[in-house]
Amino acid sequence: MTISACSHRHSNTSHLIDNYVLERIDFRSRQLSIKFRLSDDRRDDLAQEMTHELLKAATRFDPDGSAAWHTYACRVLDLAVKKLIQSECRTRKREAGGLVRFSESPDGCPSAANCLAMAVDDPSLIQLELRMDVEVVLTRMPERLRRVCLLLMELTPAEAAEALGIHRNSIYRLIAQ
């Protein structure tokens, strides 16, 4: 089933799949494909499965609840990743000739927490995810603060103040904002 077909079946919730969510799906599918050395086709399948899970879960989302949509979506994707890792572990164990009992943990995944950790133990992937979060926050900031933040990613506060032509104490006030 393609994403468009999936969206059609869940047309009342498909508008919730914005660029942020699509980037998260792509990021998590890349994590899994790197971790398990999966083909590009399998990676696309994983992304599609995550999209489908998210669209199904979107019908249960309460906009008046305590969680924002993006927080809820990330939780749903974390759960989907955990299930996909468990499935992949079971498949690999089965292919290796081992029996898989439903009561036992999947091979290489002694707990649910470790299953999720397996997908995020690469520091470069963690850094990429943090950068994606920062980009979302930056888009919500006023232009002046955004410029300050971008400068502070590359420069010290004193250097950023000099580049902006303001006093160093002013940069600390802007940082506080």
What is the spatial distance between Cα 34 and Cα 131, in angstroms, rounded to a whole number? 19
Which residue did the predictor score with more confidence, 109 or 72?
A: 72
pTM equals: 0.52
Contact yes or no for 50/77 (Cβ under 8 A): yes
Please give the pLDDT value at position 60: 87
Cβ atoms within 10 Å, residue 9: 12
What is the spatial distance between Cα 12 and Cα 58, in angstroms, rounded to a whole number? 9
Tens digits of per-residue pLDDT, 58-105? 888 888 877 788 888 888 888 888 888 878 777 777 777 655 454 444
Please give the pLDDT value at position 106: 44
Report the alpha-carbon angle 92-97-100, nearest 5: 65
Which residue did the predictor score with more confidence, 123 or 3?
A: 123
Please give the pLDDT value at position 48: 92
Burial 22-52 (b: 16+ CB within 10 A, else e): eebbebbbbbbbebbebeeeebeebbbbbbb
Cβ atoms within 10 Å, residue 80: 21
Contact yes or no for 43/54 (Cβ under 8 A): no
Tens digits of per-residue pLDDT, 10-63? 456 667 788 889 999 999 898 888 888 888 898 999 899 999 999 998 888 888
Of residues 49, 128, 138, the one with CA closest to residue 86: 49
Confidence of residue 6 (pLDDT cuts 50, 70, 90): very low
Of residues 4, 3, 42, 44, the one with CA closest to residue 26: 44
Please give the pLDDT value at position 70: 86
Tens digits of per-residue pLDDT, 114-143? 544 544 455 665 666 677 777 778 888 888
What is the spatial distance between Cα 34 and Cα 24, in angstroms, rounded to a whole number? 15
Contact yes or no for 111/142 (Cβ under 8 A): no
